[in-house]
Structure 1
């Protein structure tokens, strides 16, 4: 099986007629499109030469933003709290999801601007205007604590969230023809969100999180050869890397704290971009071994569990681990085409 071709097929088969990408078609909780996940998927499909798929997602996202223009304006103008954050998860049709699940995150909007800016030829004047409005929203909310990429810890300012916002604001400047505050955000990260010469998880958590690798890859905000990123990557690998797979963070208990395909792939992309091929090839081989007979890549693999006693309760609550996860396939594509 050619897993690259199969990954592209799986993503295309699970893109809705509206342009949205479902997070996972076989997992009860993931029947939505996240701005964050979808943007990473669109980025990978663009790299794979599937420009139409990427364009359809970007158009879907722009239409969502226009549909909720009033909410965007209200959040930008007033005092921003978790109660009036824009949601990062929508139905496949592009509407607010009617459930009680945590939804107040800002990183998805930064990631969306980052991917939309990669296709400037798709954007008309009204698109540029809504991108500018979204940028203003992010400039308003970036210091406000919210749920992180893993939908946890709403009372913290999370480094990976700020990286996503900075990447989006930096990328969109050429589209909206103005400077944004992305440099201020990066200055804040470098001054307030480092510990012992490396990036840290949040303003109150000194440990590392594997999403910190995104500063180097794929966002390219910090030089992968810099001392800060080198020490961040070394710490991530020494604490969270097991036999080809990467954990999210040390205290992870979700499905027992398994090894995440997408995080492993982005680490491999970072290593490849810096000429460190031994471990990147080990990761690539590990990912390919984890594809099932259908070529499905899961969200995580339940091996070397950090908290084994928590695996069964999650299976009982939500069922088996999500598979296929489109973001896992996207990260694999991204890694291979680096």
Structure 2
């Protein structure tokens, strides 16, 4: 393998994120937020300029080790040279509670410490502007360098001599040094003292957050890392949850399936919320619902995705100034899926909201007013349940009445009925129960094929897709229903390849899929367990865990042959699937006592 890989770590704090490779280079970070200009864009190969990275380069580099500090989003990389010298690089984004709010500045903190020998290092800070098109202008002072980006000025504050940074001069690292890259604000205290305190307080925040997760007995490390990763993908200013931090990592080599995932898909975000809810991390749900209530119209209409700042129009353009991941363009900015009809989003949002009305831990539980805000979404779900849409796979060339979409519209009506019953609104309970019943009866009749012996991807259709594995997850059918069992068996026969699963195999706008869609593999594992094939499910689960990168992170897709990661990274969908499958398969705590 040559060129970039997805052997990357992620740091962040709810304001922004950054991806760091095995050699402690920041190779991707959009600033000042997830949807911003990628000042660090080396991952996608700038066409006309070297750079787009922030590196701590060790001369005569030989190898590295990398791991997170236990139960945190603080990344530790140790670089070794060929002569026995070693350097430790600690990377994190500050985050802690202060003055009844979260302190989460747009800032990358780096602490570089010699561990052995006389290491010689070079600090290279090379942001680019306008999607890799140009080097930004710079200014400098006695202990800082400023990089003038179009909408954001970066300030590097450091106790490394500024000339060494500006001219990329190598030097022997004889004592710890510190670098803070962030907003253009002066630091009015010792940088070393601030860096030490920030690391301690950030570590304390993450460990306290993890401490209160309701993790399963088995695979705790994997679940905790996935939960932290999901948390890092929420933009706390608005409550939006992005699908991934990157754009245009192809789903398969040279496939042109290169999409921009730095936005909030309501479906994906609802899956994230439900996974975190199962772990007991309910704040993300409350913040996401705040986002929903900011974008939902009075008529209840919703797009499939929005910007993290509630933007509706996400025009898609190809970026000529970046060659792409391993030169596999195009690089796309924006996503035309915002224009599609994907009616399942109504069910996704109502499902994500339901816990508001039943969870006694919440400081502000749902009430009749909240319920009234959700009802227009139910009306849209009922009106659209049998209308063609692009489906959750976002087909660009065809629209049909998808079984998953119709079932999710049922879920919207079904949950509104249950919420109304909880609130004692008998008339609304009956109203929504009747609508849910009508949808369910029609879907069960038209999505089941007697000829094929399984549910189909569309009403009256003939194909399979992996979304059918979710029908018991939200209660549409029982897992023991013979029709569902037969569907799981058919999916295993037609869509499974080894330890992975295609989402579908019928050709689409870009040809036939080539890689396994990771969350679909987890859905299949969960379905196997639900129908009693637990040993097989555990074996497959362990195989996929082994394909996570060295830090326990997952992208969107995995190659069937060698397990290589493809698709945008880190992918929230994939980590949701891991959490849900682990909770299904784990032994109970009582079994270990």
TM range (shorter): 0.7 to 0.9
2:455 touches 2:487 (CA, 8 Å); kept in 1? yes
- Tell me, yes or no, if structure 1 residue 249 matches structure 2 residue 504: yes
Note the alpha carbon deviations across 1:71-90, whole angstroms, 9 max, x for none.
Answer: x3xx6xxxxxxxxxx31101
> What's 2:241 paired with?
21
Stretch of structure 1 that moved more, 179-188 or 245-254: 245-254
2:310 — aligned with what? 94
Cα distance between partner residues in 2 of 1:139 and 1:35: 18
Mapping 1:1-338, distance limit 5 Å: 2-17=221-236, 18-28=238-248, 29-65=260-296, 68-70=297-299, 72=300, 86-99=302-315, 101-102=336-337, 103-120=340-357, 122-152=365-395, 154-176=398-420, 177-178=428-429, 179-180=431-432, 181-195=435-449, 196-203=452-459, 205-216=461-472, 218-252=473-507, 256-303=513-560, 321-338=567-584
In 2: Cα distance, 1:184 partner to 1:304 partner: 45
Question: In structure 2, how many angstroms separate the alpha carbons of the residues matched to 1:237 and 1:301?
Answer: 17
Q: Is the 8 A contact 2:230 2:572 kept in 1?
A: yes
SS at match of 2:234: coil
The answer to whether the 8 Å contact 2:477/2:484 transfers is yes
Cα distance in 1 for residues equivalent to 2:410 and 2:311? 26
TM-score by length of 2: 0.50
Higher RCO (C-alpha under 8 Å, 6+ residues apart): 1
Q: CA RMSD in A?
A: 2.2
- Mapped partners of 2:578, 2:409: distance in 1: 23
Partners in 1 of 2:513 and 2:379 — Cα distance? 39
**Residue 381 of structure 2 contacts residue 412 of structure 2 at CA under 8 Å; is this kept in 1?**
no
Q: Secondary structure at the match of 1:117?
A: helix
Distance 1:172 1:331 in 2: 26
- Once residues 36 and 62 of structure 1 are traced to their aligned partners in structure 2, the CA distance between those partners, rounded to angstroms, is 15
| In structure 2, C-alpha distance between the alignment counterparts of 1:286 and 1:27, rounded to whole Å | 27
What displacement does 1:140 show?
1.0
Which protein is richer in helix relative to its size?
Answer: 1
Q: Distance in 1 between matches of 2:487 and 2:532?
A: 17
Long gaps (5+) in structure 1:
76-85, 306-319
Shift of residue 187, structure 1, vs aligned partner = 1.1
**Aligned partners of 2:474 and 2:459: how far apart in 1?**
21
Q: Secondary structure of 2:243's match?
A: coil
CA distance in 2, matches of 1:43, 1:98: 26
| 1-structure distance, mates of 2:583, 2:313 | 34
Pick which of 182-191 and 230-239 moved more. 182-191
Structure exhibiting the larger radius of gyration computed from Cα positions? 2
Question: In the alignment, what sits opposite 2:166?
Answer: none
Deviations 1:133-157 (A, max 9, x none): 1101111111111111101154310
Contact 2:454 2:487 in 1 (8 A): yes
* Maintained 8 Å contact 1:145/1:154: no
Kindly state the Cα deviation for residue 261 of structure 1 after the two structures are TM-superposed. Answer: 1.4
Q: Secondary structure of 1:26's match?
A: coil
Larger deviation: 54-63 or 276-285?
54-63
Does the 8 Å contact 2:346/2:380 carry over to 1? no
Structure 1 window deviating more from structure 2 (22-31 vs 112-121): it is: 112-121
Q: Answer 1 or 2: which has greater strand percent.
A: 2
**Count of residue pairs brought into register by the alignment:** 309
Following superposition, the deviation at residue 282 of structure 1 comes to 2.2
The CA deviation at 1:304 is 5.4
What is the CA–CA distance in structure 1 between the aligned matches of 2:437 and 2:354, rounded to whole Å?
17
* 2-structure distance, mates of 1:38, 1:30: 12
Q: Deviation per CA, 1:162-191: give whole Å up to 9, x if none.
A: 121112221121224333222211111121
Q: More displaced, 160-169 or 170-179?
A: 170-179
Query: Is the contact made by 1:163 and 1:214 (CA closer than 8 Å) also made in structure 2?
Result: no
Question: Structure 1: how far apart are the matches of 2:531 and 2:461?
Answer: 28
Secondary structure in structure 2 of the residue aligned to 1:337: helix
Deviation at 1:118, TM superposition (A): 2.2
Cα distance in structure 1, aligned partners of 2:417 and 2:476: 14
Task: Give 5+ residue unaligned stretches, structure 2.
Answer: 1-66, 68-220, 249-259, 317-335, 360-364, 421-427, 585-593
Task: Give the drift of 1:271.
Answer: 2.0
